[in-house]
Every structure is written in C-alpha cells, then in structure tokens.
Structure 1
Amino acid sequence: MKIFSLVLPLAGLVLLAGSCTVKSTENKSETAARQVPVVNLTVMDTTIYKEYIADIQARKNVELRSRLSGFLEKVYVDEGAIVKAGQILFQVNDEEYRADAAKAEAALNNAIAEAKKVELEKERTKKLVEKNIVSETEQELIAVQHRASLSKVAEAKAVLNQAKTKLAQTSIRAPFNGRIDRILLKTGSLLEEGALITSISDLSTLNVYFDISEAEYLTLASDTNFSNNSFNKEVKLLLANGQEYPHTGVAQIVESEFEPNTGSISLRARFPNSDGLLKHGASGRIAVPISTGSTKFVHQKAVFEIQDKTYVYVLNDDDTVKMQPFRAGQRVGHYYVVEDGLNENQRIVYEGVQGLRDGMKVRAVAKK
C-alpha cells in the first residue's frame, strides 16, 4: 500500500506538467504573430524637382594685379570691403615713374622748340628762294628737316603719354562696384610686374551654372516655354547646408553645342543677391521642376533594396506579408516617388521590414 501511495502522486505531477506544457504552447502560438505598422501610399498634388550640381559664380570677378614693378606703398582698403568703381585701393611707390614723366615732358618741350626753330628756318629759306638768293635745293632740304623735327615731337609725345600712363598705374583702382577678397600682399611688399594683390567680385547678381544631358535637354525642349532655342525656366537653389535659397532664379541655355566628352550642355540661372548671402565659388544644387500634379509617394522606412531593385512588404487579406517590387523615382525628403508597381489601396508595412519574409503572418496596426 505504501508503494501505491507513492505512485499516484507522481502520476498526478506528470499530468499537471503535461497540462502546463499544452497551455504554454497555446499561449506562444497566440502571441507568435508579429505586430507591424502599416500605411497606404501618400498621394499629393505637388511639383517634382530634379537636382543638379551647381557652380556659383559672381557676375563679375577679376584679379587685381600690379602692372608695374615697385614697392606697395599704401593699402587704402581692408579685406572684404565694399568698394566703388574708380576708388583707389592700393598705391605703388611712384617716385621713379614721376621722374620718368618729368624727363619725358622735358624731352617733348625740347622737340617742340627744335621743330619751331626749323619751321622759322623754313620760312626764311622760302623768302630767299623767292629772291633767288638760295637755290630750291636748300628749300627742299629744310623741308625735310622740318618733317623730321615734327616726327621727333610726335615721338616725344608718345613717350610722355607712356610715362603718364605708368604713373597713373601706380594707383590701383577698383574697375567696378564690388567686394574685395583677401589681400595677399601687405604694405612694403616688393611687387613684380603682374603680381596678384587681391580679387574683386560684383555680388549683386550671381550666375549659377549646371549641366544637363542631351536626353534631359530634349525633355526640356518639349516644354511650352521653349521656343526657337529661347528657354526660360524658374528654378530653385539649394545651398550647401541643404537649405533653400529664399529667391528663385531663371535658367537659360547659354551654350550652342554639347560637350563632346560628356554629352552635356550647360544652363545658367541668375539669382539676385541683395543680402550678400551668396559668394563667388560657393557650392550648391539647382532644383529644376520636371513634373507637376498628383504623385504617389512611399516612405523611405518601408523601402529596401535587393540587387539594385526596390521593394516593400504589402499586407495580404489573410494578414500575411508579401515582398513586392516597384519602380522608384527620385527621392523627395523622406519619401520616394512611386512611378509604377504599387497602388493607393495596398497596405504597406511602414517599418521593421528586416525580420519579415514572404508568407509570414503578422498583426497589422495602423501607423499613427
């Protein structure tokens, strides 16, 4: 009897353990379905832009170089200063050039005096010939001397003009209204002819250049604004930090032929720069509108790529998921444009697609 009393409790324990195992399996089966957020495609009436690398240049940008050799005597402006056309910016020591100008002026005066002397002699000889005191040969000789003296006067004037030009070039002036760049040489520096001192830019309006392919050019040519190779299209400028420039520009075709190596052609867009935000040589991107109207979008979190193809997981009616390819257009913010392969009625897994597989049963919840 003692033996039976031991066996019965053990059998009860076995039955109890079996019962717990069944309940645990049932609970696990109930919670096996993974919870995933689902959304529909986003449909918006919007304008799609295509972006191009931009080359930003000032309307005018020139280097200021010394035309003469000499010491940089004075610097009248600071780096980054706004200057006016004709304003003196730098002064090269002019003592040597003043001396050359004075010497040339003296030489001119001597040449003029010599020419006057010969002219008087010419008049005197003419009267003597009329009185048959001297021969006509003497008159011809003095006429030749007079022409030679006039040539010397002209030569002396040219030398003086050259000396005055060099003297004027000792004052380096602003060629137009603009802003001074960094000054590379300081007061007292020895300048060689052609030495770069700084550069000046007219930043009131900036030209932004970008290249498009021949196929893109032909697409733009189908625009109603394109007529007789005259094209004007409003575009946006995106700055290096991703922000949009507050003013729009107008793009125009500025080249008459395609680059043979790249098959591209350049367009130029002009942007106002009254606040001086844009600088010569800055970088950015041009956004050109390529389509307008109702467009389908899918969030980037729902999209994944396999071998250069884009996919999403769509939810079937039986709450299983299926991997579906689609043709993605360009990216706009956090969304991809859906060009083909998906429709507005499909439910798409919003995020967490890494652990999913075809046919997996899930518990869908609407994305808030």
Structure 2
Amino acid sequence: MKRISVFAGALALLCLISCTNKKEEKEEAEKFVVTNPIKIDTSFTKQYVSQIRSVRNIEIRAQEKGYLQNIYVDEGQYVKAGQLLFRIMPGMYQAELLKAQAEAKGAEIELQNAKSLADKNIVSKNEQALAQAKLEQARAEVALAKLHLSFTEIRAPFSGTIDRIPLKLGSLIDEGELLTSLSDNSQMFAYFNVSEPEYLDYQTHIKDRANTKVSLLLANNEVFKFKGNVEVIESEFNNETGNIAFRARFPNTDKLLKHGETAEVQMIVPLKNAIVIPQKATYEIQDKKYVFVVNKNNVIESKEITVTGEIPDLYVIASGISVDDKILLEGVQKVKDDDKIKYEYVSPNEVITHLRLKAE
C-alpha cells in the first residue's frame, strides 16, 4: 500500500511538471511579432493581358473570277515582296487583251486615214478628232484588259509569312474570295488596356521613369528576351470598361512571336506614398487576402485588404488598412478572430530591412 502511494505521488509530480512545461510553452508560443504598414515611394511591375499583332497583317483575296491554276507557295512559308503566290487561269483575260489590242490597231489606221483626208480637205477636222477619240478609247480598253490580266497573278505586297491556304488547285474562285493571309512579323505590336487612374499616373510620372520600356511574359511563363517600347496611346477611353488601349512595339528577329498570340505586358508602375506590408503577414481565403489587425486591447481582428501591386516580399495595398494599424507579422496560421495575444513590436523599417537582406 505504501508503494502504491509513493508511485501515485511520483505520477502526480510528473503530471504537474509536464503541465507546467506545456503551460510555459503555450505562454511562449503566445508571444507574436507585430508591425505597422509603411508608406514609401517605390515602383512595381504590373502585368496586363495583351494581344500580339503583326506590324502588317492582311488578307490576300482574288481580284478576278476563275479557276485556281497554280499555287507557288506553301503554308508557313516566308515570301519576299513581289513574289508570285497564285495564278488564276488567264485564258479569258488574254483573249480580251488581244481583242482590245486589235481594236486599238484598227483605231490607229482609221486616225491615219482621217488625218490624210482632213489634210486634203476631203473630210472635216471633226472627223479627225472623232478618230482620235476612238483611238484613245481603244487604248484605254487595252490598258484595262492588261490590268485584268495582271490580276490573274497574285503577288506578295510585302515580305512576310504565308498563313493557311484554304483552296486547292482547280478551285473555282469568285472575285474577292480569300486565298490566304500574309503577316510581316519582323516587329510585333502588343495591345493592352490600362485603367483611367493608371493612365493618369503613367502620364503624370512619365518624366520620372528611366524609359518607356516594357517586358513581355509569354504563355509558357518565360520572359521574351527583347524589350518593347510603349509608343502609342489611343485617343479615347472605352465607355463600357473605363480603359484606354496602349500599344508597345517589340522586335522579333527570331520570329518567335506570331500574329494572334496572347501574352502579358510587364510595365513598371511608379508609386508615391504607397502603403506596403510584408507578404508573410497575409493569408488567403477564396482568392481574397486578409491580415490580422491588433486593437488597443491586444485583441486581433481579421480585415480584408485589396492588393494593387506586388514587390519582392511586399504587397502594395490599395485599401483595407492604414499605416496606423498594427498588424500581425508572424503566426497568422496560429490565431483566430477575437484572440487576445501578447506581442513584441518591430518597426516596419526594420522588418523591410531584414526582408531585403534575406532576399539578397
């Protein structure tokens, strides 16, 4: 019986020691690090969905009706300006040209006869003038026939890459029917939409920017190796979206970019008096970001924030909190609303300094 009492006492002592240790660990765990948002002048890279367009992209269509006699190029082929692409069967147009040339020859003979008779006063000068007008009309018919015949040969108006060719040899073609498209991909345009506030900031601070260079993030999440330059801003805002279109030009010497491609333009946006917080102070629920704010009674409360930009290790905040709010920096996964905590305050400058050192 004595042994049982000793054993029970020892067990109680162990439980007491264990509970004391757990309580101490809990008290230690309840000490959190708190800081403030900070207001700074900075810049961040913002991404805009863009549409890639060739500097020149046209549809090549038939200007005459007839059978497709020859196709001299293939899909995806690079062609030079003036190169022959297609031929429409020219027989009818050649015949029309021969007919027009014959009529012009006859008109020349009639003019010579009328001139000879007019010189001898056998016919009036009006007869000679009528013969001259008939010759000019015949020559115009020759020129028109030559033009129609030339339309049976479709040539590249500029150097570029051939797109899909939907028709095959022998197809009957109507006037205006699509034969293919031609793209000049030596340089590319990236069109992207910018909101009115961002447009105003851009125009206001453009003199403070080193340049108007932008980058292009491709669909495979790789950055295009050539920088682009913002060169055009449209003259009007879209009333439905409140956006205005920017256009950046990119060199494309490797021909990697293609007409119709999608990408994201990365533009450096300058910010004055921007409110920033460490990214690690936030948590996310259903694509919304939150922080824990500590009130004057040391009780925490979650607040939704709107992030307008991202810098390495930092978020630029548009709304939700102010620089006067104390926010939980670490341990956001260990607490919940209405928890009362003990904390150690660290100045935001010190926090940012350590973040930068860590990044380096």
**TM-score in terms of structure 1 length:** 0.75
Residue type at the aligned position of 1:146: Q
Q: How big is the shift at 1:265?
A: 2.4
- Whether 1:86 and 2:82 are equivalent positions in the alignment is yes
Aligned with residue 252 of structure 1, among 218, 225, 231: 231
- List aligned pairs for 1:1-368, cutoff 5 A: 22=16, 25-26=19-20, 28-29=22-23, 32=26, 47-125=43-121, 139=123, 142-225=124-207, 233-291=212-270, 296=276, 298-299=278-279, 302-304=282-284, 310-312=290-292, 322-323=300-301, 325=303, 328-332=307-311, 335-337=314-316, 341=322, 348-349=329-330, 352-353=333-334, 358-359=339-340
Decide whether the 8 Å contact of 2:281 with 2:328 is kept in 1.
Answer: no
Change (3 A) 1:143 1:274: same
Q: Give me the identity figure in percent.
A: 32
What secondary structure is seen at the aligned counterpart in 2 of 1:149?
helix
Q: How many residues align?
A: 339
Paired with 1:73 and 1:307, the residues of 2 have a C-alpha distance of 59
Change (3 A) 1:240 1:37: farther
1:245-266 CA distances to partner (integer Å, 9 max, x unpaired)?
2111121334333333333322
Unaligned runs of 5+ in 2: 344-353
Q: Which residue of 2 aligns with 1:130?
A: none
Paired with 2:217 and 2:175, the residues of 1 have a C-alpha distance of 41
1:230-251 CA distances to partner (integer Å, 9 max, x unpaired)?
xx72222222222222111121
Decide whether the 8 Å contact of 2:280 with 2:330 is kept in 1.
Answer: no
Residue type at the aligned position of 2:340: G
Q: How big is the shift at 1:105?
A: 0.8
> Alignment RMSD, CA only?
4.1
Q: How big is the shift at 1:19?
A: 5.7
Q: How big is the shift at 1:353?
A: 4.8
Change (3 A) 1:37 1:265: same
What secondary structure is seen at the aligned counterpart in 2 of 1:156?
helix
Residue type at the aligned position of 1:298: P
Q: How big is the shift at 1:51?
A: 2.1
Paired with 1:294 and 1:222, the residues of 2 have a C-alpha distance of 15
User: Which of 171-180 and 187-196 deviates more?
Assistant: 187-196
What secondary structure is seen at the aligned counterpart in 1 of 2:120?
helix
Decide whether the 8 Å contact of 2:68 with 2:88 is kept in 1.
Answer: yes
Q: How big is the shift at 1:213?
A: 2.7
Decide whether the 8 Å contact of 1:37 with 1:351 is kept in 2.
Answer: no
Q: Which residue of 1 aligns with 2:346?
A: none
Paired with 2:152 and 2:128, the residues of 1 have a C-alpha distance of 37
What secondary structure is seen at the aligned counterpart in 2 of 1:303?
strand
Change (3 A) 1:17 1:307: same
Residue type at the aligned position of 1:57: R
Unaligned runs of 5+ in 1: 127-138, 227-231
Paired with 1:244 and 1:40, the residues of 2 have a C-alpha distance of 35
User: Which of 44-53 and 270-279 deviates more?
Assistant: 44-53
Paired with 2:273 and 2:257, the residues of 1 have a C-alpha distance of 34
Q: Larger C-alpha radius of gyration, 1 or 2? A: 1
Change (3 A) 1:183 1:41: farther
Paired with 2:198 and 2:236, the residues of 1 have a C-alpha distance of 14
